[in-house]
Amino acid sequence: MARLVLRGRGASHSRVVPAHRDQSEDRAGPPSGAGPAGAAPAASAVAHTWEIRLPAVLETLGLVRTGLRRRLGQLAWPDDAALDVLLAVNEAVSNAVEHAFPPGAPDGTVEIAAEVEPVGGRRRLRVRIRDTGRWLPRPVPEPDVNRRRGLPMMTALMAEVLIHRGGQAPDDGTTVTLLSPSVPTL
Amino acid sequence: MPRGRLDVVTGDQAPAAEQLLRVELRRMGVAMVLTVAGEVDMFTAPRLEAAVGRSLADAAVDVTVVDLTRVDFLDDAGLSALVTAHRAAERQDEPLRIVVDHNRPVVRPIQITGLERVLALYYDVAEALGEPHGSGG
């Protein structure tokens, strides 16, 4: 069990952090160190949250985008930044749908949980995409399929991309966490 | 504070691929113009790929123009469909011209993946049709 952290926006390194950090981070609480000390209790650090659970099928992609567009509109997220979030989330959900479930596993689901976090006087989105299977990027590109841009797109669009691949337990799936670049607070 | 709300949605509520992505083919002399509208993703990209394939397979068509200015969303699967079509067109020595104008939902994914250096992009259909076959040669 390992977490792969990929820095976006041209940063060159990636790192794997020990598994024992996963539990605390996966609870998706307010970011440690965000905001002035003692200024905000945990509840007010989360301005909005949105959670959705869908079957891991192709039709899910459009439904996720429709729901996310509506939420981003409600949050008055800037158009250009909203498109980047849509593109990144769409790729993560695509990966979950495409890779997570072996053929013949009918009951797979994808869960998407999004929340707004304050960061340095601005705000950003933390979106967690969790599936119930193993997300395994294909090690070798299939000839002429040229479908290898999902992860590079996510890292180009987001400030940070974290991939937590689960262990062997049946429902210990893969979680992709996307941290958007920050945008001005309303 | 809206917190912990869980929407459970079933696949039955999803529109069909034909509703999400519409492709019109229009012959203009030796050119075929495909007007694409809607959302191109892993679900709908096969429709785009099939339409471009039909045009490329048509012996009477010398130039295929794909107009993406009315596309609202384009993902990795859509980019792959375009690259696959571009390569197929190259093998036939038949240009595939992609009209994007300033349509950001299409331009943004093309730019972040560097595919503007691969695909032949145009501002409008007239410009795409106006350029002679084999331009630059």
Domains along the sequence of chain A with CATH: 2-7+46-139+147-184 (3.30.565.10)
Pick A146's closest partner by Cβ from B14, B84, B104: B84
- pLDDT, residue A100, reads 58
**pLDDT tens-digit series, residues A15-24:** 222 223 333 3
**For residue A186, what pLDDT is reported?**
83
In sequence order, the β-bridge partners of residue B25 are B34
What are A118-128's pLDDT values in tens digits?
A: 999 999 999 99
Query: Domain with B104 in it: what CATH number?
Result: 3.30.750.24
Write the residue in B9, B75, B79 that is nearest to A54 by C-beta: B9
Q: Is residue B106 part of a domain?
A: yes
Read off the pLDDT band of A106 (50, 70, 90): low
Average pLDDT over residues B57-64: 95
Task: Summarize pLDDT for B89-137 with one digit per residue, the tens.
Answer: 999 999 999 999 999 999 999 999 999 999 999 999 999 998 776 544 3
Question: What is the number of structural domains in chain B?
Answer: 1
- Per-residue pLDDT averaged across B57-80, rounded? 97
The answer as to whether B2 is a domain residue is: no
According to the model, what pLDDT value does residue A48 have?
73
What are the pLDDT digits (tens) for A158-186? Answer: 999 999 887 666 566 789 999 999 999 98
**Chain B nearest CA to A115, separation (Å):** 9
ipTM associated with this complex = 0.87
- Using CA atoms, how far apart are residues A81 and A83, in angstroms rounded to an integer? 5
Q: Which of A49, A91, A94 lies at the smallest CB-CB distance from B2? A: A49
Residue B9 lies in a domain: no
The long-range contacts involving B88-95, CB below 8 angstroms and separated by at least 24 positions, are: B88/B53, B88/B56, B89/B56, B89/B64, B92/B56, B94/B56, B94/B61, B94/B62, B94/B63, B94/B64, B94/B133, B95/B63, B95/B64, B95/B120, B95/B131, B95/B133, B95/B134
B13 in any annotated domain: no
pLDDT at A132: 77
Which residues does B contribute to its contact with A (CB < 8 Å)?
Answer: 1-11, 13-15, 20, 39, 41-43, 73, 75-77, 79-80, 83-84, 87, 104-105, 108-109, 112-113
User: Domain range holding B51?
Assistant: 18-130
Chain B residue with CA closest to A97: the answer is B42
User: N- to C-terminal Cα distance for chain B?
Assistant: 63
A124 beta partners? A117
Question: What's the gap between Cα B127 and its chain centre?
Answer: 17
Confirm whether B11 is domain-assigned.
no
pLDDT of residue A37: 40
Provide the pLDDT for residue A1: 37
Whether residue B31 lies inside any domain: the answer is: yes
> What are the residues of chain A with a beta carbon less than 8 Å away from any beta carbon of chain B?
43-44, 46-55, 57-63, 65, 67, 80, 83-84, 86-87, 90-91, 94, 97-98, 144-147, 149-150, 152-153, 156-157
- A153 → closest Cβ in B8, B39, B113: B113
| Predicted local confidence at residue B51, as pLDDT | 96
Instruction: Say if residue A111's pLDDT is above 50.
Output: yes
Say if the Cβ atoms of A149 and B7 lie within 8 Å: no
